[in-house]
Structure 1
Amino acid sequence: MPTPGSPATLARRTQSLAEVVVDYVKQRIATGELRIGDKLPTESELMEALGVSRTVVREATSRLQAKALIETRHGIGSFVLPPRQDNTIHLGAASTLHDILAMLELRVALETECAGLAAQRATPENLATLQQALDAIEADQAAGRDSAASDLRFHLTIARATGNQHFVTVLDQLGKTLIPRSRIDASQVGYLNSQESRTTVNREHHSIFEAISRKEPEAARAAMRMHLSNSRERLRRAHDLAAPATPEAFT
Structure 2
Amino acid sequence: MLDGTKKYQTRVEFALDYITQEIAQGNLKAGDKLPNEKDLAEQLGISRTPIREAMKTLSVAGLIDIRHGHGSYVRGEQGAPALPLNLFQLYLQDSTPEMLMELRDIFDRNCTELAAQRRTDADLAKMRECIDRLKALTEQPNASLDDMLKADLDFHRAIYEATGNKLIVTVADFVLNMVAPWVKKSLDVSGRIRAVDLHEQMYASILNQEIGVPSRLSVDANMKHFKQSLDQE
1:126 is matched with which residue? 123
**What is the Cα deviation at residue 192 of structure 1?**
4.3
1:179 alignment partner, SS class: helix
Specify the alignment match of 2:209 in structure 1: 215
Q: Would the alpha carbon gap of residues 214 and 197 (structure 1) be closer, same or farther in structure 2, given more than 3 Å must change?
A: same
The match for 1:100 among 76, 84, 97 is: 97
Relative distance call for 1:109 and 1:182 in structure 2 (3 A) is closer
CA deviations 1:11-37 (Å, max 9, x no partner) are: xxxxxxxxxxxxxxxxxxxxxxxxxxx
Q: 1:145 maps to what in 2?
A: 144
- Judge conservation of contact 1:152–1:178 (CA < 8 Å) in 2: no
Q: Does the residue aligned with 1:217 lie in a helix, a strand or coil?
A: coil
Q: Which has the higher contact order (CA 8 A, sep 6+)?
A: 1
- Higher helix residue share: 2
Match of 1:69 in 2: none
One-letter amino acid of the structure 1 residue matched with residue 89 of structure 2: L
What is the rounded CA distance, in whole Å, between the counterparts of 1:167 and 1:154 in structure 2? 15
| Cα separation, 2, equivalents of 1:163 and 1:130 | 15
2:43 aligns with: none
TM-score, with structure 2 as normaliser: 0.55
SS of residue matched to 1:168? helix
What do the CA deviations read for 1:195-243 (whole angstroms, capped 9, x no partner)?
A: x621222111100001110111222222112211320122112x2xxxx
**Which secondary structure does the structure 2 equivalent of 1:172 belong to?**
helix
Distance 1:214 1:175 in 2: 25
1:78-93 aligned within 5 A: 88=85, 90-92=88-90
Q: TM-score, normalised by structure 1?
A: 0.52
- 1:81-127 Cα shifts (integer Å, max 9, x gaps): xxxx968452337668x612210110111110000111111111100
Gaps of 5+ in 2: 1-80
| CA drift at 1:177 | 2.6
Q: Which residue number corresponds to residue 49 of structure 2? A: none
Q: Judging changes above 3 Å, is the alpha-carbon distance between structure 1 residues 92 and 141 closer, same or farther for their aligned structure 2 residues?
A: farther
**Retained in 2: the 8 A contact 1:112–1:222?**
no
Residue number in structure 2 paired with 1:249: none
* Contact 2:187–2:195, Cα closer than 8 Å, also in 1: no
| Contact 2:112/2:206 (<8 A) preserved | yes
Deviations 1:119-176 (A, max 9, x none): 1111111000000111121223333112111111111110111111111101222243
Amino acid at match of 2:103: L
State the distance in 2 between where 1:169 and 1:220 align.
Answer: 22
Query: Counterparts in 2 of 1:1-251, with a 5 A limit?
Result: 88=85, 90-92=88-90, 99-143=96-140, 144-146=143-145, 147-181=148-182, 189=185, 192-193=187-188, 197-218=191-212, 219-237=214-232, 239=233
Unaligned 5+ segments in structure 1 are 1-84, 184-188, 240-251
Amino acid at match of 1:230: H
Q: Percent identity between the aligned chains?
A: 24
Structure 1 pair 192–123 and aligned structure 2 pair: CA distance change class (3 A): closer
CA RMSD of aligned residues (A): 2.6
CA contact (8 A) 2:97 2:182 kept: no
How many pairs does the alignment contain? Answer: 146
Q: Tell me, in whole angstroms, the C-alpha distance in 2 between the residues paired with 1:88 and 1:142.
A: 39
CA contact (8 A) 2:115 2:162 kept: yes
